[in-house]
Structure 1
Amino acid sequence: MGLTLEKVVPWGRSLSEYQRMFALTPADLQRRIIDCGGGPASFNAEMTEQGYSVVSCDPIYQFSAAAIAQRIDETYPIILSGVAANLDSYCWQDITNPTQLGEVRMAAMRQFLADFSTEFTAGRYCAAALPTLPFPDKAFDLALCSHLLFTYSDQLSLEFHRAAITEMCRVAQEVRIFPLLKISGEPSPHLPILQRELIQQGYSAIAQPVPYEFQKNGNQLLQIQPNF
């Protein structure tokens, strides 16, 4: 059975957040980027406005902008109530309270919807999902994945993580994954196993600090690059 919107909890982030989550430099922004599991982020829209090259992949893109908007409206209050019930799990610095969080996220998602609903997306949004991407080897310079791998370690198996990372390494020269904690805030048990395997395969797989922390202690990314 295929994906239904009832299974999706859309939550979008902005270019500014991506820059901090993934420690993106001005030079990084010039690279060919694939955003895996991009969801309703405004990253693609904002990057495109500035003349950069991004392809976003997510199974949610098989649905219309109107259908995604309806699902956002359905899940938005549920997500915020969950955050409000777990205030101590988050760092309230740049974003100071759940109301502001909702405003920031909704602004990003509205920008995504405005971009996604136009006829000028030109292949920038691809209805595809890890661990199978419809692109040739090394089609991209940099693959990004946020709040999917490691975040959902209890729901997504070690085998899924391994296959997803292998696929991102196939289509891109470099991979960055953020954050490295489970949604509960605990370390992902998959991380040390996959780091060890990647190193054995000839990659560097280094946990790097980033200038972003909303989930407490969620301030590191995994950077994967070939040593061959």
Structure 2
Amino acid sequence: MIWLFAGSAITKLALAAGGAALLSGPLNSPQTWISGRSPDAPPLATRLASTANVNRLSRLPSGAVVVDLENWPQTPVSQRENPVGAYRRAAEIAEYRHQWLVATPATDLVRSVDPSYRGKIYPEFVRLRLAARIAAYVPVYEIQAQGAENNPTLYRSFVADISRQVQQAHPGITILAGLSTNPGGHVVAASVLGRDIALTKGLVSGYWMNIPQAGKACPRCGQAYPEIAVQVLDAELTDSQR
């Protein structure tokens, strides 16, 4: 199973009880993908660059790049309004730069695609088929489902819907799903995250484990909870080694 982390999450894990043992043990593997820098990154991990702006791809080196387009200031308005076109352009740049892309489009892009929309985000994201239209251009697609993780039934349903769209649009694509210890500042128990994984591990090839804290990207996230991630990872990695 692939585990994707931001570099900042790796640093938080290293400081949490039990985290260093995971990083020097089962997470010291090419199946651990790290987006961004961390002095605590396991030596065998796969390193990825990251950007929230397609225009910056031309400044990044060859190799893996996370392209994280969201309805936030880090992503230019034109790319928020037309994320499919933005990822198409990203694929063109990536081919020239010998990059391979991990697309992580946020579900809140439905608000920038249609500013008049006031309904629920997940059904609209499915209806617009943004995932299918983006997946055609990338080798890896991450489903930002972490906002639903406190409701495992909804989490599983959304991951299943998007996974189906993505596979139909791009057979053989690698699919990841998002998890978070505290999405939007709401702490989620390790047992709930474990349930989310149990319901979806047959649908995806791995997970992006987010360990957010308050900052420019997420002002409402509050403090970080790496100990929750350690509990989840310890359970999953121990189980996979049996």
Q: What's the TM-score once normalised by structure 1's chain length?
A: 0.38
Higher RCO by CA contacts (8 Å cutoff, separation 6 or greater): 1
TM-score with structure 2 setting the length: 0.37
Q: Which has the higher helix share?
A: 2
